[in-house]
Structure 1
């Protein structure tokens, strides 16, 4: 599953100016005059900027204070980014409603949508399950990544596959699959 084309564009319309604010405030990547209009963005550079944001998540409040022109809906979406979850996830399976990602640290199970492409499309050549480093973000009523994720080059053994399959099965049976990071979470 992916966001609608309109919501995918909206995500980037909200996300890139926020990263531009962080980049300018800390002078992280000097060659980038404006993240929004830069035609040659390197993912590692964008990751460096986004890591600075996640390490200083209060920057979102500072950014919103400077941008009173944003609609209430857009402010709420950006404010929701404070409820990010960053870490290593096992991409366990793909469902019609999204892909199942299990946090390797606490075994929480998330249902995650792609922004423009589904994870099934992005990782169709990779053996499943797949270990990836990612940051999950709330967007409206679903969970997405920030678009900056990296698979680990490793094969998952059968014992570990079964362990994570059991984690998913139990979470499903208990109704504990997380599909909205904004519900009951405040930073």
Structure 2
């Protein structure tokens, strides 16, 4: 998803106004002495000024106080809201219909919209996950980036990819995906996203009780005993996953027992055909 054309145009108009103000306050590139000259000027100079904005966040507040361009209150509030900017390195994890998922420090997960273009049109799906440097900003109750994404040529192994995926899934499960810096909007989104989970404990307990009667009889095929053990180990893992989803050590212990049971079953199957 991206901003409407009207909101994207507004975003860039306000951003250029703020950047020009910061340029003037810091005395940078005096030859760019009008807003038009700045907007049409050298992109490298604009990049330096862009960085200066985030290096001097007090000037955002100063712009909002002075209102040098005589903005209306709504537009002034948008610029004032940029004091909440989040600047740093993120992992762009996936594209969804409603936003692109950014995973930041402490596994905070953000839902970010594109500006004039969908982010997916700029960074295709096959390039994900991608490590990027970005500045995230609020506008009209959603989160966007400031127009620049700097990517790093890093290759992620399976373990890292899995950790990014789990960060997203955990945030989704808990209703903690940050889709707005507006606390009221975020609270509403979180309440809508966080759905009560079904209690599977009674079902798993009943299956566990039934599984205990599984026994391989004398003369039964070599696969029976290991297969029954695999069923019991799998149910034990399911029970741990439901009752102690945050206990990674317990989950790994049960997982290893499933793997051991699976290996024994594999040996039993081979024995059938020996």
TM-score normalized with structure 1 length: 0.90
1:80 corresponding residue in structure 2: 81
Verify the 8 A CA contact 1:47 1:148 in the aligned structure 2. no
Whose strand proportion is higher, 1 or 2? 1
Alignment of 1:154-173 (within 5 A): 154-173=154-173
Tell me how far apart the structure 2 counterparts of residues 125 and 98 of structure 1 sit (CA, whole Å).
Answer: 13
Tell me how far apart the structure 2 counterparts of residues 77 and 84 of structure 1 sit (CA, whole Å).
Answer: 12
Deviation larger for 33-42 or 135-144: 33-42
Deviations 1:43-79 (A, max 9, x none): x433321222222212122112222721111111111
Whose helix proportion is higher, 1 or 2? 2
Runs of at least 5 residues in structure 1 that lack an aligned partner in the other structure: none
TM-score normalized with structure 2 length: 0.62
Report how many residues are paired: 182
Tell me how far apart the structure 1 counterparts of residues 29 and 133 of structure 2 sit (CA, whole Å).
Answer: 22
Verify the 8 A CA contact 2:61 2:83 in the aligned structure 1. no
Q: Secondary structure at the match of 1:14?
A: helix
Verify the 8 A CA contact 2:61 2:80 in the aligned structure 1. yes
Residue 5 of structure 1 and its aligned partner are, at CA, apart by 0.2
Deviations 1:59-118 (A, max 9, x none): 122112222721111111111100000001100000111100001x32100000001111
Q: Secondary structure at the match of 2:106?
A: coil
2:26 corresponding residue in structure 1: 26
Residue 29 of structure 1 and its aligned partner are, at CA, apart by 3.2
Tell me how far apart the structure 1 counterparts of residues 111 and 158 of structure 2 sit (CA, whole Å).
Answer: 23
Larger relative contact order (CA 8 Å, sep ≥ 6): 1
Verify the 8 A CA contact 1:2 1:115 in the aligned structure 2. yes
Verify the 8 A CA contact 2:64 2:77 in the aligned structure 1. no
Deviations 1:114-157 (A, max 9, x none): 01111110012752111100000001111000002211112222
Task: Please give the root-mean-square deviation of Cα atoms over the aligned residues, in Å.
Answer: 1.8
Q: Secondary structure at the match of 2:156?
A: coil
Tell me how far apart the structure 2 counterparts of residues 96 and 139 of structure 1 sit (CA, whole Å).
Answer: 19
2:61 corresponding residue in structure 1: 61
Tell me how far apart the structure 1 counterparts of residues 96 and 36 of structure 2 sit (CA, whole Å).
Answer: 33
Structure with larger Rg: 2
Q: Secondary structure at the match of 1:28?
A: coil
